[in-house]
Amino acid sequence: MDHYILTILAVFIGSLIVFFFRPSNQKNLKLLLAFSGAFLLAITIFNLLPEVFKNNNFPKRTGVWIMVGILLQKILEYFSKGAEHGHIHLDKETTTIPKLLFISLGIHAILEGFPIHHTEGIILGIVIHKIPIAMILATFLLNTKISRTLIAVLLVVFALMTPLGTFISEHFTAIQNYYKEITAIVIGIFLHVSTTILFESNAGHKFNVTKLMVVLFATVTAYLI
């Protein structure tokens, strides 16, 4: 039950920070995003990858599913405008629900919930990843002309998507039979999202020592968990 609560809380924490404090320091948000990306990447490499290749008689097939995940995330980002790694480029004058954005974010969130109860440490990676994403999403929504009530509903729905994925993976036998294949897809998604966050160029292509230290700290933390 804890893993359900934690992923929901991550979205609410990120949203409440924006609702009550309206943070304007983009540098701190980018560092938080960098930490979340590095942590998610490290957890994927240290925990998820060994899991799907352990006692695996078809490693190349698993590699194919990982590539499917990478390509799927690329397609999802076309519709979400890059919200998964910290960018949303939509019309601020909109008064309607950005349906494609929420469908793509929903698919991403449901899939990332699948390995939570199987893989040690992945819950923390997802929680740390979701907080800045929720902040970015809430910030965008608050800058549109969508009603505050509808924004709250949208954020609640978004918060429930990852627990829904976890619930499906725990209670549907048909899904459990393809756990490794689905997890391989999730690995591909995580690899794409986290590397995009980490390797996006800084302004002017400058070397950022602070970001490097944040990434190293996140990596070491993930290894020690």
- Among the listed residues 136, 151, 134, 119, the one whose alpha carbon sits nearest the alpha carbon of residue 3: 119
As given in the structure block, the two tokens for residue 184 are 């391989």
Q: Which pLDDT belongs to residue 128?
A: 87
* Each residue's pLDDT expressed in tens, for the chain with a length of 225 residues: 677 889 999 999 999 999 888 776 667 778 888 898 999 999 999 989 998 998 888 999 999 999 999 999 999 888 877 776 666 655 666 777 778 888 898 999 999 999 887 766 788 888 888 998 898 888 888 888 888 899 999 999 999 999 999 999 888 888 888 989 999 999 999 999 999 888 875 555 555 788 889 999 999 999 987
**Please, which residues have CB within 8 angstroms of residue 68's CB and are 6 or more apart in sequence?**
184, 185, 188
Helices vs. strands in the chain: H and E counts, helices first: 10, 0
Please count the other Cβ atoms lying within 10 Å of the Cβ belonging to residue 203: 6
Say what the pTM is: 0.88
**Please, which residues have CB within 8 angstroms of residue 1's CB and are 6 or more apart in sequence?**
none
Helices 148-171 + 2-21 axis angle, to 10: 160
Q: Where are the domains of the chain?
A: 2-15+57-201
Please count the other Cβ atoms lying within 10 Å of the Cβ belonging to residue 75: 11
Q: Which pLDDT belongs to residue 78?
A: 83
Answer whether 4's CB lies under 8 Å from 151's CB. no
